[in-house]
Amino acid sequence: MILNSNDKPKEKCGVFGIYSKENNYISELIYYGLYALQHRGQEGAGITVNNNSLLNNYKNTGLVSEVFNENILKDLLGNIGIGHVRYSTFGENNLYNTQPLVCNKNKISLAHNGHLVNINSIKNKLLKKGYNFHTSIDSEIILNLYLFFKNCNLDFREALKETFNSIKGSFSIVMIIGDKLIGIRDPYGIKPLCLGEKNGDYILTSESCALNTLEANFIRDINPGEIIIIDNNKINSFTYTEHTKNLCIFEIIYFARRDSIIDGINIYASRKRAGIILAKESPIDADIVMAIPTSGVAAALGYSEESKIPYAEGFVKNEYIGRTFIQPKQKTRKQKINIKLNVIKENIKNKRIILVDDSIVRGNTIKKTIQKLKLNGAKKVHVRISSPPIKHPCYLGINTPKKNELIASNEDIESIRKKIDADTLNYISLNGLIQSTGKDNEFCLGCFNNEYPI
């Protein structure tokens, strides 16, 4: 992708944490970790560090590079820290709603990726018991719920267990509690979270690409329903509930960076295999295979390899503007899209093109892309999509449009083809997509088959 990024499901947030025995300057490492996770959220960023039991927090709206500078990082001294990048699907984008959240009195800080589905009743109960809320995000409910259980004289492990057994939804969370770094993954493993190590320091991160950035070693994924506690450089973990494996398949299709490995799935290899399967399932004669940059590229290369039709670049993407979908106003989005992508005319003129993308949500932007290709002389544009038709919205923290805005929930493939003005249109099958991951069906596929783990 992201030519038509305003037309895609949108991720919400990335989390990162480090426990170091000796290094008091970990805020710089967190900064680079968040930089590597920037694709998961561009609306806000924050870091909390623990310095001798005092939590120091800095956060703001904007990109990681806009929020932090050397002086700010220099003041964030401490050996245990967490960080967050935000994309808002719940609660407005403002300073209050950026994370990590902090409760300094109780020496707790929390950063959350995900979405809770049973918040109203819990929030009302907490309000009645006198707990205050300063944000409009569901993550604060988790923090207050933990404090509630802790105030019931539970040991912190029991309080964590009660908290995460009470909430329902998708979540990957990093927390500082006192001098401990803690990671929690929801019972379905919808959101990713993994553990790494560098020079004896432990790292928790939404995606392993942040470990690569820091030249840290990947240790393992946090299991669904697992709480991991890093304390005095020892790792303890326990399972707090029954669990299944239902990673959001969109992590594989689009959200995750292609140099990440999630739950044993190499994202790049999986996307490329999807392209190979797509070529087997939906062959067509053409002159070139082309991708919508950048997340369509691996699938297009796979399609090209299998079909023996050469791959060619069709677009130049301007890398220096943000992902267009973070702009809330439709007008701004449109302006930026024009800035963002230009075509390479000589690769397009008089060519029969197979255009590969990872998904179609509303269909508006792929339509404009096809128009652009045809205006620049493309003879034919055959569209191949490396995920099945998205027919159902997501209730688990991915900002997909309402059902009636999803083009595939209202139209069959032939009428979508006509609407977007493609010469042919085909999607990978659901079985083909699952096969491309190299795993059995260990995914949430709700937006394709209306079957949600929760």
Query: Which residues, in sequence order, are CB contacts of 197 under 8 Å at separation 6+?
Result: 203, 216, 217, 219
343 touching ligand SF4, by CB under 6 A: no
Nearer to ligand SF4, 294 or 399 (CB): 399
Nearer to ligand SF4, 32 or 395 (CB): 395
CA distance 204 to 214: 12
Report 363-402 residues binding ligand SF4 (CB under 6 A).
394, 396, 398
**Residue of 249, 261, 265, 406 that binds ligand SF4 (CB under 6 A):** 249
447 touching ligand SF4, by CB under 6 A: yes
User: Do the Cβ atoms of 340 and 325 come closer than 8 Å?
Assistant: no
**Residue of 2, 3, 7, 9 that binds ligand SF4 (CB under 6 A):** 9
Min separation Cβ 190 and ligand SF4, Å? 5
Q: One symbol per residue from 154 to 193: x for binding ligand SF4 (CB under 6 A), - otherwise; what is it?
A: ------------------------------------x---
**Residue of 87, 250, 311, 427 that binds ligand SF4 (CB under 6 A):** 250
Report 108-147 residues binding ligand SF4 (CB under 6 A).
none
Q: How many residues make contact with ligand SF4 (CB under 6 A)?
A: 13
Min separation Cβ 242 and ligand SF4, Å? 19
Min separation Cβ 66 and ligand SF4, Å? 28
Nearer to ligand SF4, 100 or 453 (CB): 453
248's tokens: 């959001």
Nearer to ligand SF4, 36 or 433 (CB): 433
End-to-end CA distance of the chain: 29
**80-86 and 14-19 as β-strands: parallel, antiparallel, unpaired?**
antiparallel
CA distance 324 to 314: 19
User: Does residue 209 have an active-site annotation?
Assistant: no
Query: Which residues, in sequence order, are CB contacts of 402 under 8 Å at separation 6+?
Result: 393
Report 37-76 residues binding ligand SF4 (CB under 6 A).
none
User: Do the Cβ atoms of 27 and 47 come closer than 8 Å?
Assistant: yes
**Residue of 82, 110, 230, 444 that binds ligand SF4 (CB under 6 A):** 444
Min separation Cβ 451 and ligand SF4, Å? 9
Min separation Cβ 9 and ligand SF4, Å? 5
Query: Which residues, in sequence order, are CB contacts of 439 under 8 Å at separation 6+?
Result: 263, 264, 265
446 touching ligand SF4, by CB under 6 A: yes
Question: 95-123 burial by CB neighbour count: b if 16+ within 10 A, else e?
Answer: eebbbbbbeeeebbbbbbbbbbeebeebb
Contacts 24+ apart (CB under 8 A), 191-194: 191/113, 191/114, 191/248, 191/397, 192/221, 192/247, 192/251, 192/256, 192/262, 192/263, 193/15, 193/221, 193/222, 194/218, 194/219, 194/220, 194/221, 194/222, 194/262
265 touching ligand SF4, by CB under 6 A: no
CA distance 175 to 198: 19
2 touching ligand SF4, by CB under 6 A: no
Query: What does the DSSP assignment read for 44-56?
Result: EEEEEEEETTEEE
19 touching ligand SF4, by CB under 6 A: no
- Binding span for ligand SF4 by CB under 6 A among 45-53, 206-214, 246-254, 419-427: 246-254
Binding region for ligand SF4 (CB under 6 A): 9, 190, 248-250, 394, 396, 398, 444-447, 452
Catalytic residues: 13
